């Protein structure tokens, strides 16, 4: 799985949830303090991606955000709903992407004054994509992305070949041609690799 695939999958899962009306990704404060929003919304912030020879760990925070009433009477309900929906989204992610693994999810209820006074829950999550050591078509394609750079040299001279893995030298040898002055004058073009010998 790539980072793009992870974000795209989380977006689709979130937007397909019956109790989610909006999805965003990036900086939660910048996003929630700009424009109007269709609550409730799910927001994704990618923290880091750690890769080694056996796995890739995607670390991210998933927010569930809803607007609170003026007296905040719905705060606990919104927070409880946020915890449930975050768990459902992550569970759906793991079921749709069997290559991913995750440990327990710790959700934190919150209230926050964005452009609107909001509440909900967030969870910092790590999902692990275990690398399959068997060679696949995808692996072969990845290798093909790094084919060596080749330069072809067709003339004598001094060349800078730094950054190239291979230099192909294809310089024509110089030959001679004997001809009269009239024949030489009537030539339509001249070859740099021919020495013309004029016979009187």
pLDDT tens, residue by residue, 103-116: 888 999 999 999 99
Tell me how many domains the chain contains.
Answer: 2
- 130, 54 in Cβ contact below 8 A? yes
The pTM score is 0.67
Q: What mean pLDDT value characterizes the chain?
A: 85
On whether both 132 and 158 belong to a single domain, the answer is no
On whether both 96 and 117 belong to a single domain, the answer is yes
In degrees, rounded to 5, the angle at the alpha carbon of residue 92 between the alpha carbons of residues 91 and 94 is 65
Question: What does the block give as tokens for 93?
Answer: 């992610």
On whether both 118 and 153 belong to a single domain, the answer is no
On whether both 14 and 102 belong to a single domain, the answer is yes
On whether both 47 and 106 belong to a single domain, the answer is yes
On whether both 118 and 192 belong to a single domain, the answer is no
Domain range for 156: 148-199
How does pLDDT run across 177-194, given as a tens digit for each residue? 887 888 888 888 887 777
On whether both 63 and 104 belong to a single domain, the answer is yes
On whether both 64 and 12 belong to a single domain, the answer is yes
Question: What does the block give as tokens for 144?
Answer: 């093909």
Alpha carbon 146 to chain centroid, angstroms: 17
**What is the pLDDT at residue 135?**
44
């Amino acid at each position: 799985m790539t980072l793009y695939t992870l974000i795209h999958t989380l977006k689709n899962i979130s937007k397909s949830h019956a109790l989610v009306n909006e999805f965003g990704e990036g900086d939660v404060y910048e996003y929630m303090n700009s424009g109007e929003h269709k609550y409730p919304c799910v927001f994704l912030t990618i923290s880091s991606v750690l890769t080694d020879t056996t796995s890739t760990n995607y670390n991210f925070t998933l927010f569930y955000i809803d607007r609170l009433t003026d007296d905040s009477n719905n705060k606990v309900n919104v927070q409880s709903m946020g915890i449930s929906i975050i768990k459902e989204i992550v569970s759906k992610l793991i079921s749709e992407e069997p290559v991913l693994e995750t440990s327990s999810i710790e959700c934190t209820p919150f209230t926050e004054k964005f452009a609107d006074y909001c509440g909900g829950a967030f969870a910092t999550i790590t999902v692990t994509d275990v690398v399959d050591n068997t060679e696949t078509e995808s692996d072969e394609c990845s290798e093909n992305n790094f084919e060596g750079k080749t330069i072809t040299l067709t003339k004598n001279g001094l060349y800078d070949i730094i950054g190239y893995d291979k230099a192909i030298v294809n310089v024509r040898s110089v030959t001679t041609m004997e001809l009269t002055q009239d024949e030489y004058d009537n030539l339509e073009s001249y070859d740099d690799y021919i020495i013309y010998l004029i016979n009187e």
